[in-house]
Amino acid sequence: MKVSGYQIFWMISISSMIIFSYLPIKLAAEKSYQDSWISILLGGLIMMTITWMVLRVCRQNMDKTLVGFMKDLLGTVLGKIIVAVYFLHWFMQMSLIAKGTADFQNLVMLHNTPMIVILSCMMFLAVYALYKGGITVIGRCAEIIGPFFVFMLYAQLFLNPQDMDIKRILPIYADSGWFSILEGTLSSVNYMIDPSIILMLFFFAENKQTASRAILWGTAVSMLWGVIATLVVLFVTGPSIAAELVVPIYSLSKYVSILNFVQNIDAIFIPLWIIGAFIKVAVCLFILSYGLSEWTGFTNWKRIGCVISVIWLAYVLYGSHNIRISNTLRSTLLVSFFYPLVYIGIPLILWFIGSIRKHWKT
């Protein structure tokens, strides 16, 4: 199974844009209001740095996946335990996206459709892609969907010029100050992109050189989109409303009114978001099942994928009945301990050990 750099680019950009359009803008705007774009920009830079660092780790261990080189660097027992943290993380990301998409569809369009129907459709599609060839198929899909998706999401930002007032982001800095801006960054940065998927994906890249360039570009494209999107949301709604909008990009598409004629175009964007969510979910499902098959030694990762998706469905359904489980976005434990560990802590340790080893060998 190999994917090209081009496919990786689309996979990375879609899966980060989909989560970007849904979570971080509100989280940042809650803390730093009209300066939330600075928070997002800082967060984007932090994420670019992390991506770069993760790529260093991947380049050191090109011939293995995360599970493989973790075992190499940290020893079998410790390596297996720490990788389990990543499995947990991907599983939660997957459930977060699945639940978000299903809830959103229930809220906006399908008022009476049971959640299990929406979820099973999404799950079926992801498992089908997995069965038909795993990452190769997902990469192909991303390659086809990507250009439409990215173009439409960028285009959407420029559809309400008549409602924009640039002055709404003024005064810059004075109202919030560094503390609030950093607070906004910290609470939103974890939901901008998931750099940990690269640790798995990189192994499947055909040409490592182009792949790492593609990953950096994919991250940059979605980060740029995030900053522009935050600015546009602020221009259109002003800081006080932006802090309250749970799905800001959706609300933005509701405001569009071109010449009083083209209105209510959210119906065009909703399918697009669902398709984007499919890519994200499928990528997560693939790396989770492939990783688990390496972890357990059970080679049929497709079967593992099936089992995971059933557990996943059960978890999301159970979670939707338990408000506390399904609303963990602002959980201090996650934001201040778990995500930094997964995104920065562990890759940093791996990089460190990898570099020392290399040094010793030479």
Partner 1 sequence: MMRTVFLAFFSVGLVLSTSGCTDFVELNQLAFIIGTAIDYAENGQIEVSQQIVIPSKKEDPSKREGSSSFFVMSAKGKDVFQATQKIQLRMSRKLMANHRMIIAISEEYFKKDDVRKLFDKLIRDPANNLRDTIVMIKGGSAKEFLMLNHPIEPLSTIAVGKELQINGMRSFSSRQFVIETLTKGARPFMPVLQIENVKLSKEHDSPVAELHGFAVLDHHLKVKGILGLPEAPGAIWMSGKGSSQGATIPWNNNKDVVSFRLTRLQRQMTSANGHDPKHMVLTVKAQAYLLENTSQQDMSEVENMMELQKCLNKQIQKELQSTIEKVQQWGPDVFGIGEYLHHNYPYWWKSQRDDWDDKFKRIEVTVKTDIILRSIGVSGAPVK
Query: Site residues (CB under 8 A) for partner 1?
Result: 107-114, 117, 121, 124, 163, 167-168, 170-171, 174-175, 236-238, 240-241, 244-245, 250, 254-255, 257, 260, 263-264
- Looking at beta carbons only, is 49 or 264 nearer to partner 1? 264
Long-range contacts of 295-300 (CB under 8 A, 24+ apart): 295/67, 295/80, 295/83, 295/84, 295/87
For 3, list phi and psi in degrees, rounded to 5: -125, 150
Give dist(CA 226, CA 43) in Å, integer. Answer: 10
Q: How far is the CB of 257 from partner 1 (least distance, A)?
A: 5
- Looking at beta carbons only, is 260 or 322 nearer to partner 1? 260
Residues in the chain: 362
- Looking at beta carbons only, is 81 or 267 nearer to partner 1? 267
| Type of residue at 83 | V
Identify which of 270, 241, 235 has the alpha carbon closest to the alpha carbon of residue 254. Answer: 270
Are 29 and 239 in contact by the 8 Å Cβ rule? The answer is yes
In three-state secondary structure terms, 22 is coil
Q: How far is the CB of 108 from partner 1 (least distance, A)?
A: 5
Q: What residues form DSSP beta bridges with 245? A: none
Q: How far is the CB of 121 from partner 1 (least distance, A)?
A: 6
- Looking at beta carbons only, is 78 or 117 nearer to partner 1? 117
- Looking at beta carbons only, is 218 or 239 nearer to partner 1? 239
Q: How far is the CB of 271 from partner 1 (least distance, A)?
A: 10
- Looking at beta carbons only, is 257 or 328 nearer to partner 1? 257
- Looking at beta carbons only, is 2 or 132 nearer to partner 1? 132
Q: How far is the CB of 174 from partner 1 (least distance, A)?
A: 3
Helix ranges, the chain (H): 5-20, 24-32, 36-60, 66-74, 76-108, 115-131, 135-156, 177-189, 196-201, 208-242, 248-255, 266-296, 301-321, 323-326, 332-333, 339-340, 346-361
Q: How far is the CB of 276 from partner 1 (least distance, A)?
A: 16
In three-state secondary structure terms, 261 is coil
Are 167 and 308 in contact by the 8 Å Cβ rule? The answer is no
Q: How far is the CB of 233 from partner 1 (least distance, A)?
A: 12
- Looking at beta carbons only, is 175 or 206 nearer to partner 1? 175
Q: How far is the CB of 21 from partner 1 (least distance, A)?
A: 15
Handedness of CA 294, 326, 249, 176 (dihedral sign): negative
Identify which of 85, 113, 123, 92 has the alpha carbon closest to the alpha carbon of residue 19. Answer: 92
